[in-house]
Each structure stands twice: as C-alpha cells, then as structure tokens.
Structure 1
Amino acid sequence: MNLLSLFFVFEDIHSNLFIDIALLVTIGIIGGKLAELAHLPRVTGYIIIGMIFGPNLLNLFNAEIIADFKALKILGLGFIGYNVGLEVNFKMLKYNRNEVLFVTLFQALFTFFLVGGTILLVVNEFAWTYALIFGAIASVTTPAPIVACIRSYHTKGRLTQLLCPMIALDDVFGVILFALVLPISVYLAGHTGQEMTFGILLGEPLLEIGLSILIGGIIGFAVEWLLTYFNKGDAITIFLIIVVGLLFGIGFSYMFETSTILLPMMIGTVLSNKLSFDMRDRVRRISDNLILPILLVFFTLSGAELDIAILSTLEIIGIIYVLVRVAGKLLGTLMATSILGEEAKVRKYLGPALIPQGGVAIDMAILAEIRFIQLATETGNDVYTNVGSTILTVVLGAVVLYKIFGEIIVKWAFRKANEITEDDHTSHAHLI
C-alpha cells in the first residue's frame, strides 16, 4: 500500500505543470554541464538529454506533457530570432560594403543550390521539400567560434575584415531565405500531385516576409523609443520594455502566421542599429540573461520530441547535408573572391572559416518540425511528423560534427592566413 501511495503521489506531482517545468529546467542544466565537459555547445547537451528523458527512452516527458509546452517553444523561436537581430549592425558595412554583400550572397546561394540540387538527384520521397529546407538551412553559419577566435587571438588582416560583417549578414540572409522556402516546402509536401501556380507558391511566403519586416520594424522602433526615453532607468525597467516588445512581436507573428524567427529578428536589428553604443551594450547584456533560460527549456523540449527510431534511416541525406554543405561554402567563397580579385589567402581560407553551424540552424530545423507536426495534425497523416523529425535530426547531427571540428578549422584558417597576432589568453563562453 505504501508503494501504491507513493506511485499516486508521483503521478500527482508529474501532472503538475510547474513541477514539469522545474524538472525540465533541472535536466536541461545537467545536460548543458555534461556537454561543456565534453567540449560541446550547451545547446547540444540540452537536446541530447531531452532525447534521453523524452517519450523515446525514459518517458519522463511524454507526448501529452510536451504538447502542453507548445507556447514555450514558440517563445524560444522568437527570442532566438531577436538575438540574431542584435548582432546585425549595418555600421560594420561602412568599409568593404560591396565586397561583403557580394561574397555573402554568392556563397549562401551557391550552397543553397548545391545542397538542394544534390538532394533532388538522390532522394525520391519529398525530394523538393527536403531540397528547399536543407538548402536554406545549409546557407547559415554560426558566429560563435569565429568571434571567439577573432577576440581570443586578436586576429588582424583582410580575412578578418571580411569575416566580421559577413557572419551576421550570412544569418540574416539565411533566415530570410528560410522564411521564403518553408511555406513552399510545406505546401509541396501537403499537396503532392496537385497543380501548382506561381501565385500559390510565392504569394504566401512573400506576404509572410513583408508582414514580418513591417510589423517587426514598427515594434522595434517603438521599443527603441521607450529604451531611449528610459535610458537612465534601472535594469528591471529595460528588461520589462524588451520583454513586452518581444511578447507583442511573437504574439503578432503567431496571430498573422508570419515568420516566428524573422519578425523578432527585425526587432533586434532595429535596436542594434538605432540605439547608442552604450545603450546597445546594456540591452545586449540584459537580453543575454533573459534568453539563456528560455534557450535551455526550448532546446531540451525539442530534444524530447526527436524520434530516435529514424536515426538509422538518415545515412544518405545526412552525408549529403554535411559534406555537400562544406563543398558549397568552399567553392562558393572561392568563386566569389576570385571574381572580386581578392588576395590568395582570402580565396583559400575564407570558405573554411564559414563551415561552423550552431543554434540558428537548429532553430530553423525546429521551426520546420513544428510546421510539419501542424500539417500532420491537419491532414491526419503521421508521415509528415517523420519529415519534421528527419530535418531536425539531420541538422542536429551535423551541428555536433561541425562543433567538434569547426573551431579547429577556423583557428587553422586564421593561422594559415597569418592573421593570428597573439596567443589565446582569453576565456570565452558562447551564448548558444
């Protein structure tokens, strides 16, 4: 009887939403710490430990509990988009603007078409869906290891001059490209065999992007005005202004079914470019404290949703994504810098420095998974859930590989380009 009583007590606790949140945060912290010990990004630890405690293994968080946390996942997507926007400062384009824009767009589009085209040639089922989504995700680069090398080794030279503005623009362009192709991909998957028109395929995505930029820009300017007005306010005031602005932005994106990443990214971009240097630095510090716990919950939940059973079926598409993406970055930058007549070290080593991927790519994959789960619910066809799980699992595996080798490759590129001026004496931690 005592054991039976304990069982029912556990069931009562486990049905409590607040206890579930506490458990989720606790295991997320553990996963992040274990990942740091293994020299992996914390986000990888969050996702892996989420997989362990999710429905596939220990089932501490079953499908019903995960469904209750849907709002937290949408919140996480928005806050990560905002964080990307904070890194975009157009003043960095004051010098080398034309060169940076050309190389960024050229190599991103080249990678998109190379990865997507290869998938179209090899994959049979949902080929166009996978080609568009994986191509768009392949275009982005994570700034963290690049910024860490630049700051730690005090790199100087032409390679550094191009990389600093490129890493932010690369993510912006990738997010916009992804916002364009995701609705098309979902539509193609859900309307196989039906007649397609130009208006159907591009009308909705372009409307989503336009509304995201317009609404995000309006909210961004409103938040910037409030922050400037209360520039001498305490940290709590600044914190609340940011939170309220982001909640409105995420709420509007959900209401109007616009991009959950792009709209908040516009808010962050406006703040990054309109605020004074001191205020921008203050907002960034406060935002980091706000975003970290949300990232923890967001990625741990996403890991719990992963279907481990599909891992054994991902050999071909996973290999294509990892290897062809690297080829796209290397060849795309080589061609672009050759057209511009850049010096030899830039032509050789800019591509390797753009190989790492991280949180933004995972963010896109999770948004794709959410859209395909919604499609599965609307159509009653669980195969769409597997499509979303496949996208997330491939990107997660690729990010782990890129993390293991990415920082080594970036450091090698700077060293071969003779732009490392000092040894690493700087301790650094990455937000994602």
Structure 2
Amino acid sequence: MLKPFVKSYQERINNTMENVNFTIMFILGFSILGGLMGASFFQKLRIPQVLGYIVIGLIIGESGLRIINRSDVIALQPFTFFALGIIGFLVGGGLKGENFKKYGRQFSAILLGEGLGAFFLVGILVALIMFKLSHNISIAVATGVVFGAIASATDPASTIDVLWEYRALGILTTSLTAIVALDDALAMTLYGLGTSAAQILTGGSGSILEAIEKVALTLLGAVGLGAISALALKFILQKVHQPERSLAFAVGLLLLLISMAISLDIDVILTTMTLGCVLTNIVPRQSEKLFNHMRNFSTPIYVLFFVLAGARMGISRMPIWLWVIVILYVIGRSTGKMTGAYLGASITHSAPVVRRYLGLGLFAQGGVAIGLSIMASHHLGKIMVTENLALGDAIISGVAATTLIVQLIGPPTVKLAIKLSGEIGRNITKEDVINSWKVADVMDTDIVTIPENEPLSRAAQTFVNQDYLVYPVVNRHNKIVGILSLQNLKDILDDRDSWNWLVASDVMTPVQYRVVPSSPLKEVLEQCNQLHIDQIPVVKESDGDAPVGILDVAKVEQLVDKETLRRQQP
C-alpha cells in the first residue's frame, strides 16, 4: 500500500533537488567566510574590518577572479535591500530627540556645508573636464550637476560599522551619526533637482518644479511610511515581551516596509531610518534591547552586504579622461566635505573636536551613490559623450571607480577621526561591564550568618537590623546548611508564640543555589533571573560549604550603572 506512495515522494524530492540552484548558497557561504577572514587579517593590521569585507569582494568579484559575476549580484539584489533596511533602522535608532534639540542647529549647518561643498566643488571640476572633452556647455554642465549631486552622499553603512567596531562615543560620534544619516535626504534632493536640470539642459523633457514636487513627495512618503511602521512596532513591543519574538516581529515588519518602499519607489534607507528614529524616541527603554538584538543578528548580513558591494565594482576598460574625472571627483569631494563641515561647525560654534575632525569621517561612499548612478543612467542613457560612450554609462563607471577609492580610504579616516578626538572605546554598555566582572568584584563580604540553633525571635532581629532579605544558616563548624529568608518568617507570622521555641533550622530552606567568588557575574545574574532569586550566598572556592559573602542583585545593578558611567567618561 505504502510502497507506490513512498516511491512517488522520493521521485518528487529528487526532481526538486535537481532544480535547486546551489550557486546562490555557495556565494552566500563563500562570501561570509571569506569576508570574515579578510576582516580578521585587516584587524591584525589595525585597519577597520569593513575594508577587509570590501577587498575580499573585489578579489572574488567583477574586478578580480569573477567568482561572483554581475548576474549573481542582481540575483541577490533583494538581500542588498534587506541589508540597507537594517542599516537604516539601526542608524535611526541612534538619532535621539534630545541630541537634535541640543545640536540641531549645528547638525543643519554642517550638513548643508559638507553636502553643498562637495556638490559645487565636484560639479565645477567635472564640468570643466567635460567641456574640454565635448566642447558642449550643456553636456558639461549636466554631467557636472549629476556627479556633484551624487558626491554629496555619504555611506552610512561603512561609517557606522567603524564607529561600532571601535566602540566610539562622544560629541563627534553623535554628530557623525546624525550627519551620515541625514545625508541621504540631502543627496536625494540634490540628485532629483540635478537630473531634472541635466535633462532640460540636454534637450530632454521635464521641469524643475516637477522635480521639486517629486522629491518632496518621496521624502514625505519615506517619513510617513516609516513613522506609521514605528507605531505598529511600538504596539507589538508593548504586547510581546520575549526578546526573540520581538526580534522576529521587527524583522518581519522591516521586510514588509522595505518591500513597500521599493514598490512605491521610495528610498529604503530613509524609510527604515525613520522607523528606527521614531521608535527609539517614543519607546526608548523597550526599543533599546531590540536594537541590541538586531545589531547582534545583523553581523553576517553586514559581512555579506559589503562583500557584494566590493564584488559589483567593475571598473575595467575605462577611458583615460574618465579616470581624470575620477581623480578630480575624489579630490573635490574630499576637499568639499572637509571644508564645508569645518565652516558649518565654525559658524555654529561647535565643539573643537567636531570642527577639526568631523570632515575626516565623511569620505565613505557606497550603496546610495551607486543607486543614484544607476538611476541617472536610466534618465541620461541616450546622451552620448563620445562616439562609443553614453553619459549614463560614464556616470555608472565613474561612480563605481570613485566608490572603490573612497571606500578604501574612508573607513581608516573615520577611525583616525575618532582616535584623534579620544572617543575610541568609550561606548561601554552595562553588558560590557557585567561581562568583565566576577562575583568577587561586587559581592558584599561583610556577611552576617545565623546559627542553626538560634531562636526565631533572635533571628528576626537580624532582619530588622540588617539590609538583606536572605541569610545563610550555619552549623557549629560554620558550614552553610540552609537559607533563612524573610518569606520563611512571614509564613509563620500568625503564630508569634512559636518564635520562642522554634529555631532557625526548623524553618530554613535548603540552599537552592550558591556561587564562588570566581564565578562570571553574567552567568550568575542569568541564573538568578531564571530562579527568581534576589540575593545569593557566596562560598569559598576550596570549601563549598563555608560562606564568605552575599550577592545582592539590586546592589549589583547600582554598581554596574555607576561603573558604566565611569568608563564612558573621557
């Protein structure tokens, strides 16, 4: 009876396995492992790990061995959008409302300074080269405007990755996070206006007013969609209290949000960044754990994203004049961003470290610039710069080459900026402190024990005179034989007469859990949480029955808070 069914089922399985494309799985595994090995190598050289990911991508991608080709990158495009969505969400989580209230004027001035500085300087340099090449003022200005608009974008992914890797914290880190997050909106605005102007100059259709309207609708759509999603996620977090389920709900909502943004032609990073920003400001405590879990979850996604970013950078067979544009683009963009950031910070009287070093953190260029160049190729693909090269193709190749260069120099300069400002290693969390401590670092050694034959009436006085709710009960050899808690006394509170003839050993409970001074604090706190214990006896390393202290969870939390604050100070 079952034999035909089993045979049919096996045939279906075999047919399915034959049709599965294992190439994608190989690329995923190979990229993650290769990226991690590259990152480890670069970290040993004290170079940011993100550079290792990108270099591995270059080696195995279009510019190297071509293990990953363009069709593979296209097939993994949905994953790239997912990675950008997580990046935007985590970047938005760092945009606190109090920082904008305090530094909003400075952020605005710096943003406009560095963005417009790169836009104008790159635009002018590229336009001059193109005019010398084509002798056509319209094509020259159009090319300069588009390159300038793309140059204003800063890659938040690699910048933030360096800040997280080196645990940076301070006013420079706060300013840098805000600027790279808001750069997307400015770059999109300049790009929308720039491409419309380029189309008009080169004889295409369109108008500046239409461009302004389209940019406004795109920005408002991204903010509105992200804000609505944040309210939905807030509701979920208030109903779901398990961290793992909260993370699963957040990932599912992110995927839906990303798909809606793509279908509506809205910027993914800006949309998910709004989600993270609104969420962290309306439910700061509940969202803090979610952001930490998401950051831990995102590690392999980050690795794969940057490896693929390096793999798709194909810059072979570029003409010499385009390489000249690339070099001038990098110089002009770097100079414009550094000068503009300095001027914006100086005008608003920003902190000295912001004025001096913020510009160093704005060199990185990545997914946003590549995406804008691809969009520009669609709008300007029919305009010929030379007999064999269209303007759209020139923009894609040029931006890919500049992205390669600035991605190699960008992460190290971010590290240099936070190093010079003294902000490396200051982003200490409570978890970091707990992980670094043993029980011996926080236990109270001024221990009070209760003899097993002590009357309850006298033992009760110990609870009145001391602060603890739990005390070790010891025998005449000072060996722990049990625990007397306030709850034990409450259980016989109605029978006060019995307190004169009952002794501690009559109502004590067995020792449920004990620790030694060398026990890792993290493991002990996790065990206390599972067993719902607030205080726990600490015994000698060599003698597990001899009490040497008490661990009070409430006091530990206070000590951790103080130590975290101390370590975060410059």
TM-score by length of 2: 0.60
* 1:295 and 2:302 matched: yes
Q: Could you tell me which of 59, 62, 69 is aligned with 2:69?
A: 62
Aligned to 1:169: 178
Aligned to 1:200: 210
Aligned to 2:399: 391
Aligned to 1:238: 246
Aligned to 1:363: 367
Instruction: Give the greater-gyration-radius structure (CA).
Output: 2
Amino acid at match of 1:367: G
**Could you list the runs of 5+ residues in structure 1 that have no partner in the other structure?**
1-10, 155-159, 415-419
Offset from partner CA, 1:268-311 (integer Å, 9 cap, x none)? 1112211233x333122111123222222222222222113157
Mapped to 2, the partners of 1:265 and 1:212 lie a distance apart of 9
* 1:178 and 2:195 matched: no
RMSD after superposition? 3.9
Q: How does 1:190-339 map to 2 (within 5 A)?
A: 192-230=202-240, 232-233=241-242, 235-277=243-285, 279-309=286-316, 313=320, 315-339=323-347
Deviation at 1:12, TM superposition (A): 9.6
Amino acid at match of 1:210: L
Mapped to 1, the partners of 2:63 and 2:107 lie a distance apart of 45
Give yes or no for contact 2:110–2:342 (8 Å, CA) kept in 1: no
Size of the aligned set, in residue pairs, is 396
Amino acid at match of 2:355: L
Aligned to 1:19: 26
Mapped to 2, the partners of 1:424 and 1:211 lie a distance apart of 38
Deviation at 1:170, TM superposition (A): 1.0
Aligned to 1:132: 149
Higher relative contact order (CA 8 A, sep 6+): 1
Report sequence identity in percent. 21
Amino acid at match of 2:182: F
Give yes or no for contact 1:141–1:357 (8 Å, CA) kept in 2: no
Give the SS at the match of 1:309: coil
Amino acid at match of 1:130: F
Aligned to 1:157: none
Indicate how the Cα distance of structure 1 residues 364 and 271 shifts in structure 2: closer, same or farther if over 3 A, else same.
same
Offset from partner CA, 1:171-230 (integer Å, 9 cap, x none)? 232110122234455566678422441233223222211111111111111112211322
Q: How does 1:137-156 map to 2 (within 5 A)?
A: 137=154, 142=159
Indicate how the Cα distance of structure 1 residues 411 and 73 shifts in structure 2: closer, same or farther if over 3 A, else same.
closer
Amino acid at match of 1:168: T
Deviation at 1:103, TM superposition (A): 4.2
Amino acid at match of 1:248: L
Q: Which moved more, 1:267-276 or 1:386-395?
A: 386-395
Give yes or no for contact 1:370–1:388 (8 Å, CA) kept in 2: yes
Give the SS at the match of 2:152: helix
Amino acid at match of 2:256: F
Give the SS at the match of 1:355: helix
Give the SS at the match of 1:308: coil
Give yes or no for contact 2:196–2:207 (8 Å, CA) kept in 1: no
Offset from partner CA, 1:367-426 (integer Å, 9 cap, x none)? 2355357669999x98435522421331231232233344335434x3xxxxx59x9799
**Could you list the runs of 5+ residues in structure 2 that have no partner in the other structure?**
1-17, 132-139, 430-570
Q: Could you tell me which of 48, 54, 70 is aligned with 1:41?
A: 48
Give yes or no for contact 1:216–1:267 (8 Å, CA) kept in 2: yes
Indicate how the Cα distance of structure 1 residues 291 and 58 shifts in structure 2: closer, same or farther if over 3 A, else same.
same
Offset from partner CA, 1:93-130 (integer Å, 9 cap, x none)? 34354445444444443444334344334444632211
Deviation at 1:260, TM superposition (A): 1.8
TM-score by length of 1: 0.77
Give yes or no for contact 2:261–2:267 (8 Å, CA) kept in 1: yes
Aligned to 1:417: none
Deviation at 1:145, TM superposition (A): 5.8
Aligned to 1:51: 58
Q: How does 1:413-432 map to 2 (within 5 A)?
A: 414=421
* 1:352 and 2:357 matched: yes
Indicate how the Cα distance of structure 1 residues 136 and 60 shifts in structure 2: closer, same or farther if over 3 A, else same.
closer
Deviation at 1:91, TM superposition (A): 1.3
Mapped to 2, the partners of 1:201 and 1:189 lie a distance apart of 11
Mapped to 2, the partners of 1:58 and 1:146 lie a distance apart of 31
Indicate how the Cα distance of structure 1 residues 203 and 218 shifts in structure 2: closer, same or farther if over 3 A, else same.
same
Deviation at 1:134, TM superposition (A): 1.0
Deviation at 1:133, TM superposition (A): 0.8
Where is the strand percentage greater, Structure 1 or Structure 2?
2
Give yes or no for contact 1:107–1:332 (8 Å, CA) kept in 2: yes
